[in-house]
Structure 1
Amino acid sequence: MAMEINANEVDIVVSVTRPDPSFLEAWMPFFSPYHVIVVQEPELEENVKVPSGLNHTLYTKHDMERILGIGVLNSLGFRGHSCRAFGYLMSKKKYIFSLDDDCIPAKDPNGYLINPLEQHIVNLMNPSTPFFFNTLYDPYRDGSDFVRGYPFSLRQGVPCAISCGLWMNLPDYDAPTQILKPDERNTRYVDAVLTVPHGALFPMSGINIAFNREIIGPAMFSGLARSGAGKPLLSRYDTLEDIWCGLCCKVICDHLGYGIKTGLPYVWRKEDFGDPMVSLSREYEGVKWLEEIVPFFQALRLPRTALTVEDCFAEIGKQVKDKFRNLDPLFSEVGTSMEDWAKAWKAASS
């Protein structure tokens, strides 16, 4: 379903974790109508050079300290790609599109470059259907509809909070799978969008994502990305930041009656696997902890008094501290970080 995009309702937020953000040049044809928030990872010492001609705002560690204060910044961390959350905080637009700095535009099966922003906004502007699965996937797309047997009372759907896009070339594998399949690449383009069912969790990726900031913005943060005094506190949970964020978001969407879509659009991830053995040393604790974390979120129930996303997110932070502090004391700090984020969001909104 074609829809007109109002550029005044969209911010593009990009996290930059390497000194040369030349990848932005590949996006200039698609990004030029929009405002781009470039968030520089706090550990980068020199300001990155954003390509000329891009309507952008650059935020550095200095800006974070000035706006949040050093104490709050140390609590929130914004390590690695998680620094993009600061851009979410600064934006005042309805829709946010974000992608990693190892991504460039992909091509569709006909060889045409894909503008992922257009498909993301279509996903977000059309309803989701989490309460009953449609076997033709997204019924709001052109050429699709609800199949026979789909209850009419559910066909109006619910607001879509998040659109999770996919990627060509480099698959988003964990280190053990990279070791087993070092040469595997994704060449399969699947022309489909579907809603993640109510009650089902999924591994959300921040590589290529868009969301309705007015609906779910206060939950787009991961306490696992904390750092204090310039040193990472949870480096052994690296690469799980967006997974943790997605688990929080899905529980909140289920509680408040929102939906999440996955599928189109695609981006192209460049060759940047690195040494999988090094990745394994960074990820092993998180991979092990997923076996504890996922059952926690599966059983998590939010109180009826939690009526806003901020309240839900802060409540999850409290339950994280109660559940995990005896198993790993660092999760007490994660819970506190989530509570601090909810406060920061309220302060920014007011």
Structure 2
Amino acid sequence: MSEVTIKNDEVDIVIGAIQSDLTSFMEAWRPFFSNFHLIVVKDPELKEELKIPGGFNLHVYTKSDIDRVVGSSAGSISFSGYACRYFGYLVSRKKYIISVDDDCVPAKNSSGELIDPVSQHIINLSTPATPFFFNTLYDPYCEGADFVRGYPFSLRTGVECGLSCGLWLNLADFDAPTQALKPTLKNTRYVDAVLTVPARSMLPVSGINIAFNAELVGPALTPAFRLAKEGNLRWETVEDIWTGMCVKVICDHLRLGVKSGIPYVWRQERGNAIESLKKEWEGVKLMEDVVPFFQSLRLSETSVTAEDCVVEIAAAVKERLGSVNPKFVSAAATMVEWMKLWKRVRGQ
């Protein structure tokens, strides 16, 4: 594995608190979180007080903080449920942001050793990505790997990585129909590899275990696409899928990379897939329109920052998808509001 020096003051770890008692979660993560600053965002719909053990360098944000910072200028933006993590992205001032859901604990590798997701995410983000020519030995910058025969030397310097998508063991990220049909299906296979997702290829990003370079793509992480019955269980949300496609299109346009693979986390059991299917089914159907749209989307040369790209994507969403479903019109409007809020809060 590549040796990368991690500066603690460059990293924020964002935790969206969907459950009130974070004691066991925080204790499980203490070996890896204790040296970094944490941003804990309480779901504004959560009524109970948060229970957080001591010994962490953290800042807790509640509904009153969200109302104070956001105000009435972003009425279409919802930070409820899993979307509360986006408020953490908004108020962070660090270069790297790592986000882990509160239903996950550290996983173990094939040797039975605990995995340090923080270090691996930073390695993924701080080493080059190779989106324009696929290397069959996965990440050529990992220890024990290199570029294979035939790989163009002109592309071996790679590009900066904008987004690192970690994976998870135990409960896999299946949709509700798949999980309902295969209730015993688990992900037990640990693959010690990371790869760059090729340019122009979409992927279903999950906010369960991700990290990103906020200086490069931070504004693109936007809570824009929401279902009418969206809830607090992973099967019931699609906002991160939409966000991931926005980020991937932007990374392709700005010649940045997206990596997928290690680090893993262990995902706990939670929810009922059959009940969640009632809420998620609308999103499953809409993906049949969303994916072709993002696959065909090409941004203009005048969009040179992530902020420019978000605004241009929003306009394209309204024009090309607005007539398909009114939720796309709402998503486009929310993306525009998010950009205004991002610039105001972050002083741009």
The reply to whether residue 136 of structure 1 matches residue 104 of structure 2 is no
The equivalent of 1:286 in structure 2 is 283
1:187 maps to: 188
Amino acid in structure 2 at the alignment position of 1:39: V
Residue identity matched to 1:31: F
Residue deviations 1:304-346 (CA, integer Å, cap 9, x gap): 1111101101111121112222222232121111001111111
Is contact 2:249-2:294 (8 Å) kept? Answer: yes
**CA–CA separation in structure 2 for the residues paired with 1:115 and 1:85:** 23
Contact in 2 for aligned 1:47/1:60 (Cα 8 Å): no
C-alpha distance in 2 between matches for 1:305 and 1:118: 35
Superposed displacement of residue 187, structure 1? 1.0
Instruction: Summarize the alignment of residues 23-34 of structure 1 with structure 2, pairs less than 5 Å apart.
Output: 23-34=25-36
Q: Retained in 1: the 8 A contact 2:129–2:256? A: yes
* Structure 1 counterpart of 2:56, one-letter code: L
Counterparts of 1:56 and 1:271, CA distance in 2: 27
Q: Structure 1 residue 47: deviation in Å?
A: 3.3
Distance 1:147 1:184 in 2: 35
CA distance in 2, matches of 1:170, 1:341: 32
Q: CA deviation at 1:238?
A: 3.6
Which range moved further: 319-328 or 160-169? 319-328
Aligned length: 342
Residue type at the aligned position of 1:349 = R
Q: Contact 2:99–2:209 (CA<8 Å) still a contact in 1? A: yes
SS at match of 1:223: coil
Q: Render the CA deviation track for 1:127-157: whole Å, top value 9, x for unaligned.
A: 0000000010000001100011000000000
**1:172 aligned residue:** 173
Match among 51, 54, 57 for residue 55 of structure 1: 57
CA distance in 1, matches of 2:152, 2:280: 43
Contact 2:107 2:266 in 1 (8 A): yes
Normalising by structure 2, report the TM-score: 0.95
- Do structure 1's residue 349 and structure 2's residue 335 form an aligned pair? no
Cα distance, 1:64 vs structure 2 = 0.7
Contact 1:234/1:330 (<8 A) preserved: no
Measured in 1, the distance between the counterparts of 2:220 and 2:321 equals 20
CA distance in 2, matches of 1:198, 1:224: 23
Tell me the equivalent position of 1:319.
316
- 1:167 Cα deviation (Å)? 0.4
Structure 1 moving runs of 4+ over 4 Å: none
The aligned residue for residue 250 of structure 1 is 248
Contact 1:17/1:101, CA 8 A, preserved across alignment: yes
The SS at the match of 2:240 is: helix
Are 2:240 and 1:264 aligned? no
For 1:213-232, what aligned pairs fall within 5 Å after superposition? 213-225=214-226
- Find out whether 1:235 has 2:230 as its counterpart: yes
Paired letter, 1:245: T
Q: 1:234 to 1:258 in 2, by over 3 A?
A: farther
Give the TM-score taking structure 1 as reference length: 0.95
- Amino acid in the other structure paired with 1:331: F
Secondary structure of residue in 1 paired with 2:118 = helix
Alpha-carbon distance in 2 for matches of 1:192, 1:284: 32
> Would the aligned equivalents of 1:40 and 1:47 in 2 still touch at CA under 8 Å?
no
- C-alpha deviation, 1:234, in angstroms: 5.6
Amino acid paired to 1:263: G
Pick aligned residue for 1:68 from 67, 70, 73: 70
Separation in 1 of the partners of 2:40 and 2:255? 32
Q: Give structure 2 stretches of 5+ with no counterpart.
A: none
Instruction: State the SS of the aligned residue for 2:76.
Output: helix
- Given that residues 88 and 96 in structure 1 are in contact (C-alpha distance below 8 angstroms), is that contact kept between their aligned partners in structure 2? yes
Separation of aligned partners in 1, 2:181 and 2:48: 37
The code of the aligned residue for 2:103 comes to D
Take 2:211 and 2:283, find their aligned partners in 1: how far apart are those partners?
A: 25
Aligned runs of 1:329-348 on 2, under 5 Å?
Answer: 329-348=326-345
Q: Which residue of 2 aligns with 1:35?
A: 37
For each residue in 1:215-240, what CA deviation from the matched residue of structure 2 results, as whole angstroms up to 9, or x when unmatched?
11000113124xxxxxx746399421
Deviation, 1:71, is 4.4
Pairwise CA distance, 1:164: 0.4
User: 1:81: Cα distance to partner?
Assistant: 1.1
1:266 aligned counterpart, secondary structure: strand
- Rounded Cα–Cα distance in structure 1 between residues aligned with 2:212 and 2:237: 20
What does residue range 68-217 of structure 1 map to in structure 2 within 5 Å? 68-72=70-74, 74-217=75-218
Distance 1:43 1:71, change over 3 A: farther
Secondary structure in 1 matching 2:314: helix
RMSD over equivalenced CA pairs, Å: 1.4
Given candidates 290, 302, 306, the residue that maps to 1:305 is 302
Aligned to 1:229: none
Q: Kindly state the Cα deviation for residue 32 of structure 1 after the two structures are TM-superposed.
A: 0.5
